[in-house]
Amino acid sequence: MKRWGYMEKYFCLELAEGVVKGKKVTLEEIGMLLETAEDNIMLLFSGADMIRRHFLGDKVDVCSVINAKSGLCAEDCSYCAQSSMYDTKISPFPYIGRNKIFDVIEKIVNCGVRKAGIVTSGGKISKSIVSDICDAVREAKNKYGIKICVSLGMLDKDSLFLLKEAGVDSYHHNLETSKRFFPKICSTHTYQDKVDTVKNANNIGLKVCCGALFGLGEDMGDRVNLAFCIRKLEIKSIPLNFLDPIRGTCFENKKLISPMEALKTIAMFRYINPESHIKVCGGREVNLKDLQGMIFFAGASGLMTGNYLTTSGRGIDLDFQMLEDLNLKADWS
């Protein structure tokens, strides 16, 4: 282990104090942060926790997803069980329609969740499905006052505008990885297509939920670049996913990220995006294992609960119990 000088050792905390006072960290500082964190990981977490507490207090952003159209996707994202290019064991189904969406929302609400994400597979969806989802959103918001996020692929401005008019609270679209690494995970659309979707949603005034998927073979430099790209796009809700390799996809043999590496990645995102909600979503259980509760001490301020799109979660009750044990409160704003 390297012998660190006092100032170097406590660089994580000094930087965190600066962030709390409004400082924007630089690429060089993040390099130094990650280097010193190699031997001083708890100081990295302490700094990330300090930033989270300062900007977000005990508020935790919680949501559940509704799989409204599964599989049958013509895109070739190498990690995805829903691409029709791979022989995976999921059961695809076409768009389920507003009545079934409404049924699932009712179940989610009955479990105590007040924020739902409607997700469809595919690069983009038809105008008629957008219109049907708009009706479901109006009805659900009217009846339950629930917050609704939608994730419908790379939509044009007109469709995004219709969703906003229907009362959608936020649009979800992940960049997944760095611009440099993206061609290694997808060839049927570009990084710029994704950035354009995020900018379109931003420009019409929709709040945007935009994040990452780790464990694709990218290095820490790619993750850092993505964190800065997300900061530049002024994203206020950042979902972080960790690959749960699916049999039949190109990435079926990828190794899981270790729990400590996952926590370190979360903490790095917190230093770069201090005021945003950072939510740990898909792959939490299999990658973090027994360290799930540590995500908040590493700077996370949210989680996805219930089942994911093609894999199972551990149950909403257990997640709510974890928040209660940590004195954290679900925030539905």
Residues lying near ligand SF4 in the complex (CB under 6 A) are found at 73, 75, 77, 80, 82-83, 121-123
Residue 59 or 311: the one with the smaller Cβ distance to ligand SF4 is 311
DSSP one-letter string for 81-122: TTBTTS------B----HHHHHHHHHHHHHTT--EEEEEE-S
Residue 84 CB, nearest approach to ligand SF4 (Å): 8
What span, in angstroms and rounded, lies between the C-alpha atoms of 184 and 170? 29
Residue 281 CB, nearest approach to ligand SF4 (Å): 13
- Helices (H) and strands (E) counted in the chain, each on its own, are 12, 10
Cα dihedral across residues 79, 174, 185, 220: positive or negative: negative
Residue 328 CB, nearest approach to ligand SF4 (Å): 30
Give the other-Cβ count within 10 Å of 28's Cβ. 8
Residue 282 CB, nearest approach to ligand SF4 (Å): 11
Residue 37 or 175: the one with the smaller Cβ distance to ligand SF4 is 175
Residue 231 CB, nearest approach to ligand SF4 (Å): 23
**Burial profile 222-253: b = 16 or more Cβ within 10 angstroms, e = fewer:** bbbbbbbbbbeeebebbbbbbbbbbeebbbee
Residue 83 or 265: the one with the smaller Cβ distance to ligand SF4 is 83
What is the pairing mode between strands 147-151 and 170-172?
parallel
Residue 41 or 154: the one with the smaller Cβ distance to ligand SF4 is 154
Looking at the chain, how many residues does it have? Answer: 333
Residue 81 or 268: the one with the smaller Cβ distance to ligand SF4 is 81
Q: Based on C-alpha coordinates, what's the Rg of the chain?
A: 19
Residue 190 or 258: the one with the smaller Cβ distance to ligand SF4 is 190
Tokens representing 164? 């906003």
Residue 11 or 214: the one with the smaller Cβ distance to ligand SF4 is 214
What span, in angstroms and rounded, lies between the C-alpha atoms of 28 and 15? 12
Residues 6+ apart with CB under 8 A from 34: 220, 224, 264, 268
Residue 218 CB, nearest approach to ligand SF4 (Å): 16
Residue 21 CB, nearest approach to ligand SF4 (Å): 39
